Structure 1
């Protein structure tokens, strides 16, 4: 393809249009991080299939990916200009933005284990602080100085909510929704039970719970080690497919059929099929997460789950 002024203007216009749509959607939906909320079962399954279980809010997400998005726009425009494939430019931009998701299928599971390990460390430190006779709320506030980085934002928001006058039970539930983990619900359930019954022995209970969390972290690490083989196969399939896509753009014999409208439709169809296969391969290496017991029904109902936990204790 000859690089002329008309093609360059068209490419720049397309980039401006995509950026305009992105800004318009961000303006309509709001750019501030949303408060913690309980996700529906369908949302949780979709996020698990895509490998995006506990993702940060839009502000943090943009801070982490703004450079990659800029590179995706530039790369997509260059592919469009030099290959005459509009859909090829679109596929290239999507690939650049989604490289971490494509090449690191176990990133979300690793992040969840790191968060759970941070919860275990925080609970153990909280047990030590509470030993001196400080109230639970004051102990949580003091723990901010030593809270692990993986959950520092969540604990900071927990302290902020209680300082703003939230009832401790509501603040703990919001904290549980942000962690979004069935094992972390056990920690929150213990904190809520202490709000209802300010009895002695919380420090010992926190220490025992931390020991249980430590065993859970070890078990999850062993499971993740078993998942590495299918994930390595997934990564090599991705690299092979992306290499074929890149080489096809350099071969004129391969590029000619995709220069037509039908060829562009076939190209985007192949891209969608590739993503579907990636999701299918990830599901083969995924175990259904344990359902949380601090559910929306428990929040609206009579706290039946917590009552059963209290009776069992």
Structure 2
């Protein structure tokens, strides 16, 4: 099939539209890290559904990590459009290529969260070793920056920066808990806040005990993820099978001829949307609601507003 000048121009225009959509998603969801802002539950679920994980990124890190895949997706989508005359086939190919990590790696967000929690456990244990008599908690945290585990290096670096900038320690620890967004990490922040208010002895022992509790939590979460690995593997194979069928069908000639019409293209869009909705439904069934946090910034804001109103 030889592409005409008109079809080439239309394909280029569509690729520009898809690129604009990608940039809009990058700007709206992953471009601004918002280090001290706790994301709403709806935003957390949206990010998890898109495979973005929970760790914050720098202003351009979201796009930098995905630029190569997006470029390849746009080129592949253009080629599919030109050589099959399926406008929506090209767009769907580009979207599928860009979303491959989300399609083939169900549960990646949970694994990332476990890795971050394990890093917190290691950091707390090192912090207990660093903290000695005569050394303040804030100084110990600053010294721990030299050996902080990589998964939480950004959060700890920002914590040290806030303390150095003159933030109240309580606010800095709460901001750290908001970034980690995990109920078990709230316990770490609560211990640090209590020490700021009391400055009593025994912090090193308390940190050691908390590190042991964190290690048990990591072990329990890994056991749960191991049990969920088999259905996720089945989901991955089903997805691969569907994608192969989609790729082969585009080259099958007369069998897919009806899809070249306007009605066929709309049908193709409906099938693609249905496939994504089924994937989201399957993932939703495997999601376990996290334990509610007790250091929620939203709860603190509501409490402060209530006090002002009663006054």
- Give the TM-score normalised by structure 1: 0.90
Matched, 1:168 2:174: no
What is the deviation of 1:300?
2.9
Q: Which residue of 2 aligns with 1:310?
A: none
- Aligned residue number for residue 3 of structure 2: 3
* Contact 1:50–1:279 (Cα < 8 Å) also in 2: no
Q: Which residue of 2 aligns with 1:292?
A: 293
Partner residue of 2:307? none
Quote the offset at 1:9 in angstroms.
2.3
Give 1:24 shift. Answer: 6.7
How far apart, in 2, do the equivalents of 1:24 and 1:102 lie? 21
2:173 alignment partner, SS class: helix
Q: Which runs of 5+ in 2 are unaligned?
A: 305-311
Distance 1:27 1:108 in 2: 20
Partner residue, 2:233: 232
CA distance, structure 2, for counterparts of residue 295 and residue 70 of structure 1: 39
1:13 is displaced (CA, Å) by 2.4
Paired position in structure 1 for 2:114:
113
Look up the match of 1:54.
54
With over 3 angstroms needed to count, the CA separation of the structure-2 counterparts of 1:246 and 1:44, relative to structure 1, is same
Q: Structure 1: how far apart are the matches of 2:25 and 2:284?
A: 30
Partner Cα separation in structure 2 for residue 29 and residue 65 of structure 1: 13
- Give how far 1:10 is off: 2.2
Alignment of structure 1 residues 102-181 onto 2, 5 Å: 102-181=103-182
CA distance in 1, matches of 2:267, 2:18: 22
Map of 1:63 onto structure 2: 64
Q: Distance in 1 between matches of 2:29 and 2:243?
A: 33
Matches within 5 A, 1:10-21: 10-20=10-20
The question of whether the paired residues in 2 share the 8 Å contact of 1:75 and 1:93 is answered with yes
In 2: Cα distance, 1:168 partner to 1:274 partner: 48
1:291 partner SS: coil
Deviation string 1:82-101 (CA, Å, 9 cap, x unpaired) is: 11111111111111111111
- How far 1:285 sits from its partner (Å)? 2.2
Q: Secondary structure at the match of 1:250?
A: coil
Distance 2:7 2:25 in 1: 27
Which residue is 2:255 aligned to? Answer: 254
Distance 1:17 1:108 in 2: 29
Cα separation, partners in 2 of 1:186 and 1:143, compared to 1, 3 Å: same
Count residues in correspondence: 303
Equivalent residue number for residue 309 of structure 1: none
Cα 1:45–1:7 shift into 2, 3 Å: closer
Deviations 1:220-250 (A, max 9, x none): 1100010011101110110011011001101
